[in-house]
Protein backbone atom coordinates (compact mmCIF):
# COMPACT_ATOMS: atom_id res chain seq x y z
CA UNK A 1 0.00 0.00 0.00
CA UNK A 2 2.69 2.52 1.04
CA UNK A 3 4.90 1.44 -1.84
CA UNK A 4 2.07 2.05 -4.32
CA UNK A 5 1.32 5.51 -2.78
CA UNK A 6 5.03 6.37 -2.99
CA UNK A 7 5.15 5.53 -6.72
CA UNK A 8 1.98 7.54 -7.40
CA UNK A 9 3.44 10.61 -5.67
CA UNK A 10 6.77 10.15 -7.44
CA UNK A 11 4.94 9.97 -10.77
CA UNK A 12 3.04 13.19 -10.05
CA UNK A 13 6.26 15.00 -9.11
CA UNK A 14 7.93 13.86 -12.33
CA UNK A 15 4.95 14.99 -14.43
CA UNK A 16 4.98 18.44 -12.74
CA UNK A 17 8.74 18.72 -13.23
CA UNK A 18 8.49 17.86 -16.93
CA UNK A 19 5.63 20.32 -17.40
CA UNK A 20 7.45 23.27 -15.78
CA UNK A 21 10.80 22.64 -17.45
CA UNK A 22 9.87 21.45 -20.93
CA UNK A 23 6.26 21.99 -21.88
CA UNK A 24 5.42 25.40 -20.37
CA UNK A 25 6.18 28.29 -22.77
CA UNK A 26 9.03 30.65 -22.05
CA UNK A 27 7.93 33.92 -20.52
CA UNK A 28 9.38 37.32 -21.27
CA UNK A 29 10.41 39.63 -18.45
CA UNK A 30 7.87 42.27 -17.50
CA UNK A 31 8.70 45.95 -17.75
CA UNK A 32 10.20 47.34 -14.58
CA UNK A 33 7.51 49.05 -12.58
CA UNK A 34 7.17 50.52 -9.13
CA UNK A 35 7.98 47.96 -6.46
CA UNK A 36 5.05 48.75 -4.22
CA UNK A 37 2.44 45.98 -4.25
CA UNK A 38 -0.45 48.26 -5.16
CA UNK A 39 1.35 49.33 -8.35
CA UNK A 40 1.84 45.82 -9.69
CA UNK A 41 -1.26 45.63 -11.87
CA UNK A 42 -1.03 44.31 -15.44
CA UNK A 43 -0.47 46.52 -18.47
CA UNK A 44 -2.73 45.72 -21.44
CA UNK A 45 -0.35 47.07 -24.11
CA UNK A 46 3.42 46.94 -23.77
CA UNK A 47 4.71 50.51 -23.27
CA UNK A 48 8.03 49.55 -24.84
CA UNK A 49 6.12 49.12 -28.13
CA UNK A 50 5.60 52.91 -28.09
CA UNK A 51 9.11 53.77 -26.88
CA UNK A 52 9.97 55.93 -29.91
CA UNK A 53 6.80 57.99 -29.45
CA UNK A 54 7.17 58.36 -25.68
CA UNK A 55 10.85 59.25 -25.74
CA UNK A 56 10.90 61.38 -28.92
CA UNK A 57 11.19 64.74 -27.14
CA UNK A 58 14.19 63.69 -25.02
CA UNK A 59 15.80 61.89 -27.97
CA UNK A 60 15.56 65.09 -30.00
CA UNK A 61 17.76 66.91 -27.48
CA UNK A 62 20.74 64.57 -27.93
CA UNK A 63 22.48 62.29 -30.43
CA UNK A 64 21.79 59.40 -28.05
CA UNK A 65 18.26 57.96 -28.41
CA UNK A 66 16.28 57.90 -25.18
CA UNK A 67 14.93 54.59 -23.91
CA UNK A 68 12.23 53.71 -21.38
CA UNK A 69 14.01 53.15 -18.07
CA UNK A 70 11.08 52.78 -15.67
CA UNK A 71 7.29 52.44 -15.75
CA UNK A 72 4.83 53.32 -12.98
CA UNK A 73 1.61 51.51 -13.84
CA UNK A 74 -0.50 53.11 -11.11
CA UNK A 75 0.40 56.69 -12.07
CA UNK A 76 0.47 56.09 -15.86
CA UNK A 77 4.04 57.37 -15.99
CA UNK A 78 6.85 56.31 -18.28
CA UNK A 79 10.37 57.55 -17.54
CA UNK A 80 12.68 57.99 -20.54
CA UNK A 81 16.44 58.22 -20.07
CA UNK A 82 19.49 59.03 -22.20
CA UNK A 83 22.90 60.67 -21.69
CA UNK A 84 21.28 64.05 -20.88
CA UNK A 85 18.91 62.98 -18.13
CA UNK A 86 15.49 61.58 -17.28
CA UNK A 87 12.12 62.79 -18.60
CA UNK A 88 8.79 61.75 -17.02
CA UNK A 89 5.97 61.16 -19.53
CA UNK A 90 2.31 61.03 -18.49
CA UNK A 91 0.39 58.56 -20.70
CA UNK A 92 -3.18 57.43 -21.10
CA UNK A 93 -4.36 54.40 -19.09
CA UNK A 94 -3.64 52.05 -22.00
CA UNK A 95 -0.04 53.31 -22.29
CA UNK A 96 -0.48 54.09 -25.98
CA UNK A 97 -0.53 57.93 -26.12
CA UNK A 98 1.43 60.79 -24.56
CA UNK A 99 -0.67 63.19 -22.50
CA UNK A 100 2.19 65.33 -21.22
CA UNK A 101 5.99 65.31 -21.40
CA UNK A 102 7.41 67.02 -18.30
CA UNK A 103 10.72 68.82 -17.97
CA UNK A 104 13.74 66.54 -18.17
CA UNK A 105 16.01 66.45 -15.16
CA UNK A 106 19.55 67.03 -16.38
CA UNK A 107 22.49 64.96 -15.09
CA UNK A 108 25.04 67.76 -15.65
CA UNK A 109 22.95 70.31 -13.73
CA UNK A 110 22.55 67.87 -10.86
CA UNK A 111 26.32 67.41 -10.58
CA UNK A 112 26.78 71.20 -10.57
CA UNK A 113 24.11 71.66 -7.89
CA UNK A 114 25.69 69.04 -5.62
CA UNK A 115 27.95 71.76 -4.26
CA UNK A 116 25.08 74.13 -3.41
CA UNK A 117 22.24 71.76 -2.49
CA UNK A 118 23.98 68.73 -1.14
CA UNK A 119 22.98 65.24 -2.18
CA UNK A 120 19.50 65.91 -3.57
CA UNK A 121 17.72 68.12 -6.09
CA UNK A 122 14.12 68.44 -7.23
CA UNK A 123 11.60 70.19 -9.44
CA UNK A 124 7.82 70.58 -9.48
CA UNK A 125 5.64 69.95 -12.53
CA UNK A 126 1.90 70.20 -13.04
CA UNK A 127 -0.75 69.43 -15.61
CA UNK A 128 -3.89 71.28 -14.41
CA UNK A 129 -6.06 69.89 -17.23
CA UNK A 130 -5.66 66.39 -15.75
CA UNK A 131 -5.45 67.56 -12.10
CA UNK A 132 -1.98 66.04 -12.00
CA UNK A 133 1.15 67.37 -10.33
CA UNK A 134 4.48 65.88 -9.42
CA UNK A 135 7.67 66.54 -7.51
CA UNK A 136 10.70 64.71 -8.86
CA UNK A 137 14.44 64.84 -8.60
CA UNK A 138 17.81 63.16 -8.31
CA UNK A 139 19.55 61.91 -5.18
CA UNK A 140 22.94 60.34 -4.67
CA UNK A 141 23.37 56.88 -3.24
CA UNK A 142 24.18 58.48 0.13
CA UNK A 143 20.51 59.53 0.51
CA UNK A 144 18.53 56.63 1.96
CA UNK A 145 15.31 58.39 3.02
CA UNK A 146 13.50 61.39 1.52
CA UNK A 147 10.63 63.19 3.24
CA UNK A 148 8.56 65.83 1.45
CA UNK A 149 7.61 67.97 4.43
CA UNK A 150 5.45 70.38 2.45
CA UNK A 151 3.20 67.48 1.36
CA UNK A 152 2.29 65.93 4.73
CA UNK A 153 5.70 64.26 5.16
CA UNK A 154 5.13 61.85 2.28
CA UNK A 155 7.96 59.59 1.09
CA UNK A 156 8.48 59.40 -2.69
CA UNK A 157 9.06 56.42 -4.98
CA UNK A 158 12.57 56.01 -6.31
CA UNK A 159 14.52 53.91 -8.78
CA UNK A 160 18.21 53.51 -9.53
CA UNK A 161 19.45 55.05 -12.77
CA UNK A 162 23.19 54.36 -12.48
CA UNK A 163 26.45 56.04 -11.45
CA UNK A 164 25.34 56.18 -7.78
CA UNK A 165 22.31 58.32 -8.71
CA UNK A 166 18.63 57.61 -7.98
CA UNK A 167 15.59 59.24 -9.55
CA UNK A 168 12.78 59.92 -7.08
CA UNK A 169 9.25 61.20 -7.61
CA UNK A 170 5.81 61.52 -6.08
CA UNK A 171 2.54 62.31 -7.86
CA UNK A 172 -0.62 64.09 -6.71
CA UNK A 173 -4.16 64.37 -8.05
CA UNK A 174 -4.31 68.16 -7.78
CA UNK A 175 -3.54 71.22 -9.92
CA UNK A 176 -0.25 72.09 -8.23
CA UNK A 177 1.95 71.14 -5.30
CA UNK A 178 2.14 73.07 -2.04
CA UNK A 179 4.65 75.91 -2.14
CA UNK A 180 7.28 76.45 -0.99
CA UNK A 181 8.48 72.88 -1.47
CA UNK A 182 10.27 71.60 1.60
CA UNK A 183 12.29 68.39 1.38
CA UNK A 184 14.42 66.66 4.00
CA UNK A 185 16.81 63.81 3.25
CA UNK A 186 18.61 61.40 5.55
CA UNK A 187 21.55 59.04 5.26
CA UNK A 188 21.63 55.41 6.42
CA UNK A 189 22.34 56.47 10.02
CA UNK A 190 19.44 58.94 10.12
CA UNK A 191 21.59 62.09 9.80
CA UNK A 192 19.83 65.02 8.15
CA UNK A 193 21.62 65.70 4.85
CA UNK A 194 19.56 68.62 3.63
CA UNK A 195 16.63 70.77 4.67
CA UNK A 196 16.12 73.32 1.94
CA UNK A 197 13.14 75.45 0.89
CA UNK A 198 12.63 76.13 -2.81
Domain layout of the chain by residue ranges = 30-101, 104-198
Q: Read out DSSP for 101-126?
A: EPPPEEHHHHHHHHHHH-SEEEEEEE
Neighbour count for residue 41 (Cβ, 10 Å): 9
Contact of 174 with 131, CB cutoff 8 Å: yes
Mean confidence (pLDDT) of the chain: 81
Structure confidence by residue, pLDDT tens digits, 143-179? 999 999 999 999 999 999 988 999 999 999 999 999 9
- The candidate with the shortest Cα–Cα distance to 190, out of 153, 142, 148, is 142
Task: State yes or no: pLDDT of 77 exceeds 50.
Answer: yes
pLDDT of residue 183: 93
Neighbour count for residue 40 (Cβ, 10 Å): 12
Phi, psi of 50, deg, nearest 5: -105, 20
Domain range 104-198, its CATH number among 2.60.40, 1.25.40, 3.30.1360, 1.10.3470: 2.60.40
Task: State yes or no: pLDDT of 189 exceeds 60.
Answer: yes
> Which of the four pLDDT bands, split at 50, 70 and 90, describes residue 27?
very low
pTM beyond 0.75, yes or no: no
Structure confidence by residue, pLDDT tens digits, 28-40? 333 444 433 344 3
Question: Is pLDDT larger for residue 194 or for residue 111?
Answer: 111
* Residue 166, CB-side half-sphere exposure with 13 Å CA sphere: 17
Could you give the CA distance from residue 101 to residue 55 in angstroms, rounded to a whole number? 9
Task: State yes or no: pLDDT of 47 exceeds 90.
Answer: no
**Sequence-distant (≥ 6) Cβ neighbours of residue 145 within 8 angstroms:** 155, 185, 186, 190
Amino acid sequence: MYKRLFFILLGLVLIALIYFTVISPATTPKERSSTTEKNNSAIEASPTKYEDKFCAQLSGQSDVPAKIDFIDVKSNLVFCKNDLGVMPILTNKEFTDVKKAFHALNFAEFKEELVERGYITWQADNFPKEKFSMISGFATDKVKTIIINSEDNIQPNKFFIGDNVWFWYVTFHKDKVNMPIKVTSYDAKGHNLTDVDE
